[in-house]
Structure 1
Amino acid sequence: MQVLLVASEVFPYSRTGGLADVMAALPEALVRLGLDVTVLSPWWQSLNGTPREVWRPSVARGGRLMPGDLRVGQIDEAGVKYLFLGTPEFDRPGLYAEDDVERFSRWGRQVLPTLSSMGLTFDLIHGHDWGAGLILAHARQLGLKSVYTVHNLQYQGRWNIQDGMAWSGLPESAREGVEFFGDINLMKAGLVFSDHVTTVSPTYAHEITTPEYGERLEGVLQERQAQGALSGILNGLDLERWNPATDPDIHRMTSLSGKAANIAALRHEFSLDSAPILSAVTRLVSQKGIDLLVEALHEVTQDWNVVVLGSGDPLLEAALTGWAQHPRVRYVSGMNEALAHRLYAGSDAFAMPSRFEPCGLSQMIAMRYGTLPVVRETGGLVDSVPPEVGFRFAGATAADLTRALRTARASFENIHDWKARTQRGMVLDFSWEASARQYLDVYERVLG
């Protein structure tokens, strides 16, 4: 089976979050199941690594493109072919920007004609999140089978319908499948035109069919559910990248051996006192509920040292910067891969007070590194954090989070309970094999 996976980012070539991590691990897991897998992503100017250029048009195409405006580069890694399609819109520093709907629309309309010009064909196209949605609309026009995965329904790729239809290259007959309250919606395109929709945990698959979590697309999702074309498949974890026994950024850990050394190193790095360490590695956005943690810090710091790594909302950044003057609070702005590893290994507990969480990988990493998650009961957090390991709470309030952290602190004082929870968490199986087999089942159903 020849499968093309399409996404806006893929680790280690481009990354802003969990989508890139999935696009690094899932393709390799599918290859191990015997599939022929190609991953396609934009050729960002800031792409890590230099792809080998394998195709460039010699003539103008579509009445607009001049020679050299399109180029395709390739990197082969672990049995997976990574293709990067370059268009002028992506030839500038950074990744996402305010004109992304236009950029991904113009890029998306070039994908299938470019692959066809290269002589590349696939049995199935698997698009991921809104950046790939338009491609599945074009695939439907060509009679190609497709699967669409929602990683986060909140980010949809919307713009006014007049501009959007012009950029998309879609026929007017496809308008109903992409129009959304007067806008074009690239997420809706993927939901409507794919043969099957998946999302990244079973609980989130249910949640997004409700008004509370459906982001005004719950009607479309209810229809796909009624068709038997909506599934929830829990993401796996890259067990080689996140292996405490071989991780070069930490003191190596086998079972609980080495955990104390990592805690001591983190305590020294941030000049923390003897209280247990609670950390968070996160985007500072409303979804992640870090404002609840900030609101609760007056009480939380009575029991915990708190270290937060992340960036995003300027108001949250400012609040955390102010709190960093407190002897038990530390805040590091931005993304720092090595520090993230040290936080997972050197913390006692890990906070994820998310308002919603499609899947989440941080809680899986934390447990694998002997750190107990404190999580809200939503989405993939429900599906991956057993109550006999982590500490779960229902309400999206600072008071609920505070109560859960008090329970966690009481467990911490009971050395036998804490150790048992930690050991159970470290041996949970979050490998990609089971998830990849579920995707393969979906592919086979779609292909008949």
Structure 2
Amino acid sequence: MKKILFAASEGLPFVKTGGLADVIGSLPKELCSIGFDVSVIIPLYLKTARTQHHTLTKVATYPVQAGTIDAVATLYARKIDNVNYYLVEHAGYFEREGYYGYPDDGERFAFFQHAILRAIEEKLIEADVLHCHDWHTGFLPLLVKTVYQKRIPQPLTIYTIHNLAFQGNFPFGILESCFGISKQMYFDGTLRFHEGMISFMKAGILFADAVTTVSQTYAEEILTPDFGERMEDVLRLRKKDLYGIVNGIDTTAWNPETDTALAKSYNLTNTHRGKAANKAAIQAELGLRQDPGVVLVAMVSRLTPQKGIQLLMETMYEIMGWDMQLIILGTGDTWTENELRQIEFRYPHRAVFYCGYHEELAHRIYAGADMLLMPSAFEPCGISQLIAMRYGTLPLVRETGGLKDTVEPYNEFTTKGNGFTFTNFNRDDFKHILKYALDTYYRNHENWTKLIKQAMKKDVSWNKSAKEYARLIEKKTR
């Protein structure tokens, strides 16, 4: 049985700031179910220590030395759903109120990566496959092949890009001071990325045995200047080893039949009654007009340019003239949040803005809404559209990255599809497809009902993707 070690900066059920945590919390379980021995290693942050330290078992304390780093790591463990979770404790590096965005992030995650490989060297953890995620673990494939080449058994290394925009770029002096690697790797261009800087992500792309990203379309997009974030030339060097494997969701946690957060549970056999009850409940909870017939449109997202919030803001006053209700759950910059509060004030009982994130409320919105907006400028994979389909809420998305790979556009002639899509990132195309979706709801409700069934039947689990990872591992270890 092959042993896979996932290395990441966050993961459920311990810590989450974004979609990476969902992947780390669900993909390992699926790989376990198909015959792998899977472990996960993440930092032990202050907020996790406050709430879950008592659930952890201490494994060992060991020194970590590299460059000018001379520290001690303490390793804790906990087993959940057959997955072994390891957490690396260091008060100075990780016991802070936040997770990222500190001036010494490069040193913090250099320490974390050395602590992982030292744990393997100390035989505290075994790994036939080392699966590294995003920039925070980008140096692991390089360290395995250089500093630790003769110190640990050489695992297969897989590097997964969840979002190319976050690259881990730091002054090149970090090579010697935090990794014990010669600055020559900067001067010869190997790790140089911008003048005076090196990139954790570039290291992962160049030195991993295989590079994956979270959808096939995104794997193709990032080879181009439009989506490559100035990393496209590096990625093209690894094109033959670049794979797109779409994400899934935890279909146990996201299941309308067993979801305790809902007003009424439902499945494919009683979808209409279930959706209607949850729609009425969310309208009452958020102060919307009680109307079972009106289209309820939702957006559950970070309210950033990547997520296409500007398209919604640019068309807001026009689309709120249509017969629809709107719920927005998320956070953005001060201007966006204030504008959305004004929209809520201007359209009482028709528009609601919940500033922040509330997990149980998100469940109820997915269940009660008729449609979910995801007009993203780019989207490596996306998880919200998968959850929406699971709950019978039709996604309206831009055809980019994983949104293009997972949402099949409605065809009014064949009635195939499970959502609505548009191609060009502009306000007119967005407005047009939203109007088309509303017209379908009001004028062809029979087809709308069929789309709901088709959306709920789509396999959004990790099963298929886990098997693709298994095939990739088999291919690379022959």
Q: TM-score range, shorter-chain basis?
A: over 0.9
Match status 1:145 vs 2:156:
yes
Match status 1:167 vs 2:209:
no
Change (3 A) 1:317 1:177: farther
Shift of 1:194: 0.2
User: What residue in structure 2 maps to residue 4 of structure 1?
Assistant: 5
Change (3 A) 1:433 1:319: same
Verify the 8 A CA contact 2:138 2:202 in the aligned structure 1.
yes
Tell me the amino acid that sits aligned with residue 366 of structure 1: A
Match status 1:260 vs 2:282:
no
User: What residue in structure 1 maps to residue 414 of structure 2?
Assistant: none
Shift of 1:312: 3.1
Q: Distance in 2 between matches of 1:234 and 1:2?
A: 22
The answer to which of 197-206 and 166-175 deviates more is 166-175
Match status 1:270 vs 2:299:
no
User: What residue in structure 2 maps to residue 102 of structure 1?
Assistant: 107
Verify the 8 A CA contact 2:67 2:179 in the aligned structure 1.
no
Change (3 A) 1:119 1:60: closer
User: What residue in structure 2 maps to residue 92 of structure 1?
Assistant: 96
Match status 1:342 vs 2:364:
yes
User: What residue in structure 2 maps to residue 46 of structure 1?
Assistant: 47
Q: Any residues of structure 2 matched to 1:35-434 within 5 Å, and which?
A: 35-47=36-48, 48-50=51-53, 51-57=56-62, 61=65, 69-87=72-90, 88-99=92-103, 100-141=105-146, 142=149, 143-163=154-174, 165-172=176-183, 174-175=185-186, 176-182=189-195, 183-225=197-239, 228-250=240-262, 251-255=264-268, 256=271, 257-273=273-289, 274=291, 275-303=294-322, 304-325=324-345, 326-327=347-348, 328-387=350-409, 388-413=417-442, 414-434=444-464
Change (3 A) 1:63 1:161: closer
Verify the 8 A CA contact 1:366 1:373 in the aligned structure 2.
yes
Q: Distance in 1 between matches of 2:356 and 2:3?
A: 38
Tell me the amino acid that sits aligned with residue 239 of structure 1: T
**Secondary structure in 1 matching 2:170:** strand
Residue deviations 1:79-120 (CA, integer Å, cap 9, x gap): 110001122211112222233233212322332023312443
Tell me the amino acid that sits aligned with residue 3 of structure 2: Q
Verify the 8 A CA contact 1:42 1:84 in the aligned structure 2.
yes
**Secondary structure in 1 matching 2:342:** helix
Verify the 8 A CA contact 1:344 1:371 in the aligned structure 2.
yes
**Structure 1: 4+ residue segments shifted above 4 A:** 59-67
Q: Distance in 2 between matches of 1:435 and 1:306?
A: 33
User: What residue in structure 2 maps to residue 34 of structure 1?
Assistant: 35
Verify the 8 A CA contact 1:177 1:193 in the aligned structure 2.
no
User: What residue in structure 1 maps to residue 412 of structure 2?
Assistant: none
Residue deviations 1:34-60 (CA, integer Å, cap 9, x gap): 111110111111115222111113x68
Q: Distance in 2 between matches of 1:65 and 1:206?
A: 39
**Secondary structure in 2 matching 1:178:** coil
Match status 1:447 vs 2:452:
no
Tell me the amino acid that sits aligned with residue 180 of structure 1: F
Change (3 A) 1:217 1:66: closer
Change (3 A) 1:62 1:378: closer
Structure 2-normalised TM-score? 0.89
Residue deviations 1:128-159 (CA, integer Å, cap 9, x gap): 11111112221122254200111110111112
Q: Distance in 2 between matches of 1:64 and 1:130?
A: 21
**Secondary structure in 1 matching 2:75:** strand
**Secondary structure in 2 matching 1:187:** helix
Q: Distance in 2 between matches of 1:185 and 1:311?
A: 29
Shift of 1:21: 0.5
**Secondary structure in 2 matching 1:381:** helix
**Secondary structure in 2 matching 1:177:** coil
Q: Distance in 1 between matches of 2:182 and 2:155?
A: 16
The answer to which of 92-101 and 294-303 deviates more is 92-101
Q: Distance in 1 between matches of 2:215 and 2:325?
A: 31
Q: Distance in 1 between matches of 2:211 and 2:64?
A: 36
Q: Distance in 2 between matches of 1:300 and 1:78?
A: 45
The answer to which of 411-420 and 303-312 deviates more is 303-312
Structure 1-normalised TM-score? 0.95
Gaps of at least 5 residues in structure 1 are: none
**Secondary structure in 2 matching 1:259:** helix
Shift of 1:318: 2.2
User: What residue in structure 1 maps to residue 413 of structure 2?
Assistant: none
Residues paired across the two proteins, number: 444
Q: Distance in 1 between matches of 2:184 and 2:278?
A: 59
Residue deviations 1:380-428 (CA, integer Å, cap 9, x gap): 0111011122110112122221111101100111210110111110110
Q: Distance in 1 between matches of 2:418 and 2:4?
A: 37
Verify the 8 A CA contact 2:58 2:76 in the aligned structure 1.
yes
User: What residue in structure 2 maps to residue 24 of structure 1?
Assistant: 25
Gaps of at least 5 residues in structure 2 are: 410-416
Verify the 8 A CA contact 1:46 1:95 in the aligned structure 2.
no
Change (3 A) 1:180 1:206: same
Verify the 8 A CA contact 1:199 1:358 in the aligned structure 2.
yes
Q: Distance in 2 between matches of 1:177 and 1:339?
A: 47
RMSD: 1.7
Tell me the amino acid that sits aligned with residue 265 of structure 1: A
Q: Distance in 2 between matches of 1:109 and 1:357?
A: 31
**Secondary structure in 1 matching 2:47:** coil
Shift of 1:65: 6.6
